[in-house]
Amino acid sequence: MTENSLKAQFRTVFDRAPSWRVNAPSRINLIGEHIDYCGGRVLPMAIQGGTTVVSAENDSDMIRVYTERFSDRVSLKIRPDHSPGFYGDWRDYVAGVVSCLSRSESRVVGHDLYVTQSAGTAGLSTSASFCLALAKSLSPKSSEVELARICQQVEHEFARVQCGIMDQMSIALGGVIYLDCQALRWQVASSDLDDVVVVVMDTGKARTLAGSAYNERVSELHQVAQSFGAENIDNLVSAPATDFLPPHLAKRFRHVTTEHRRVAQAFEAIQSRDWSTLGRLMTASHESLRDDYEVSCRELDCMVELALKQDGVLGARMTGGGFGGCAIALAERLSVSQWMPVVAAAYQQQTGIVPDLFEAEPAPGLSRQSC
């Protein structure tokens, strides 16, 4: 939607003109899945799409939000103690952002906000993008790291998902980053992918088990940490190898440690433009997520297998929490137009689901400008 269209929609809903526009991208994770919440390093990439908010202060103590995606609105008083899960839908995220910002050092005043999002593609951090766009609109002077922490807390408390901070940091900072989730230090990786491109492959499979299974994996890693005498999982990626874990916990731990090593190797591959090595590491990551961490599903595996059979595809893997959502492929740029329709047709034939495949390019992070 164009800026003029957004302004017109805002005026229709709130009967006045907006003052500010905030953009928050989507994100994919090139490699480093399910290790951000245990102190790992990850390689996310912010991509086009995401969330746009146009807003204006309203001289009250109310936050009024209209979302185009659901053709719905909510009005909330600015206070720190909204009840988690009260609404059971997107409005809980608004309540979470308002509550968590109110508890912070941020000074929040009444706002009217009109929200539009790109098509909700599961596994591309739609909720993180939504929360960060709201938070930036309400607290523009807060740093990117502060906003990322606040929006992670929203996920923990109001969505009941014990996620790491990768999604929020990736969206806040933009581009391709090599992020240490324990120390919250990062390096900017090259955003110039030269002759290769990342293709996002939306399976069309809803992530119906993602929330509960995600928390189950976190719980399993806490069991692993306890076996080492540790109180938490924040530095589990550097724990020593062991052979005394039960088989299912040994598999979870093996994914965490091997994935952490793959991320370091992938960063080196990007910096040296070794795309074949990056592709190989991405495929190995998917195999580990499928076999050891057990967060893939038939549709994701089918999509990855079909992509890997195509000329020009260097590697493929699921991205996001798993159990549906998206996979990604790293491919030679000139090959993409030839194999994307082939994979889409074969996937539909095998699953009965119409997929959505598109090329993704690195995008800027969270931004705010006057309307």
Give tens-digit pLDDT for 248-277: 999 999 999 999 999 999 999 999 999 999
Average pLDDT over residues 54-77: 96
- Alpha carbons within 13 A on the beta-carbon side of 320: 31
Confidence of residue 64 (pLDDT cuts 50, 70, 90): very high
Q: Which fold has domain 3-189+364-370?
A: Ribosomal Protein S5; domain 2 (3.30.230)
Q: Could you give the percent of the chain with pLDDT greater than 70?
A: 98
Question: What is the pLDDT, as a whole number, of residue 238?
Answer: 76
Q: If pLDDT is split at 50, 70 and 90, which confidence band does 41 have?
A: very high
Say which CATH superfamily domain 196-360 falls into. GHMP kinase, C-terminal domain (3.30.70.890)
Q: Do the beta carbons of residue 126 and residue 120 sit within 8 Å?
A: yes
pLDDT band at 193 (very low <50, low <70, confident <90, very high): confident
Amino acid code (one letter) for 370: S
Give per-residue burial for 105-119: e unless 16+ CB within 10 Å, then b.
ebebebbbbbbbbbe
Query: Per the residue annotation, which of 36, 112, 167, 292 is the catalytic one?
Result: 167
C-alpha dihedral, 328 to 332 to 337 to 340, nearest 10°:
-30
How would you class 127 by CB atoms within 10 Å of its CB: exposed for 0-12, middle for 13-18, buried for 19 or more? buried
Looking at the predicted structure, is the pLDDT value of residue 120 above 60?
no
Nearest to residue 35, comparing CAs of 224, 246, 189, 301? Answer: 224
Measured at the alpha carbon of residue 273, what is the angle toward residues 271 and 275, in degrees to the nearest 5?
120
pLDDT given for residue 123 in this prediction: 59
- For residue 144, which amino acid is it? E
Tell me what the pLDDT averaged over the chain comes to. 94
> DSSP assignment, residue 127?
H
Q: In which band, very low, low, confident or very high, does the pLDDT at 102 lie, cut at 50, 70 and 90? A: very high
pLDDT at residue number 293 = 97
**71 three-class SS:** coil
Using alpha carbons, list the distances in angstroms from residue 77 to 62, 97, 196. Answer: 5, 12, 48
Rounded to whole angstroms, the Cα distance separating 252 from 239 reads 13
Chain centre to alpha carbon of residue 65: 22
The residues, any chain, with a CB within 8 Å of residue 15's CB and separated by 6 or more, are none
What pTM does this model have?
0.93
In 3D space, the residue among 138, 106, 126, 108 whose CA is nearest the CA of residue 19 turns out to be 138
Q: Report pLDDT for 95.
A: 98
Residue 211 scores a pLDDT above 80? no
Q: CATH 3.30.230.10 in the chain, residues?
A: 3-189+364-370
All CATH 3.30.70.890 domain ranges of the chain, comma separated, are: 196-360
Cα 53 to the center of its chain, rounded Å: 18
b or e along 67-100 (b: 16 or more beta carbons within 10 Å of the residue's beta carbon)? beeeeebbebebeeebeeeeeeebbbbbbbbbbb
Q: How far apart are CA 144 and CA 154, in angstroms?
A: 15
Which of the four pLDDT bands, split at 50, 70 and 90, describes residue 89? very high
- 313-319 vs 326-332, strand pairing mode: antiparallel
Active site residue 167: yes
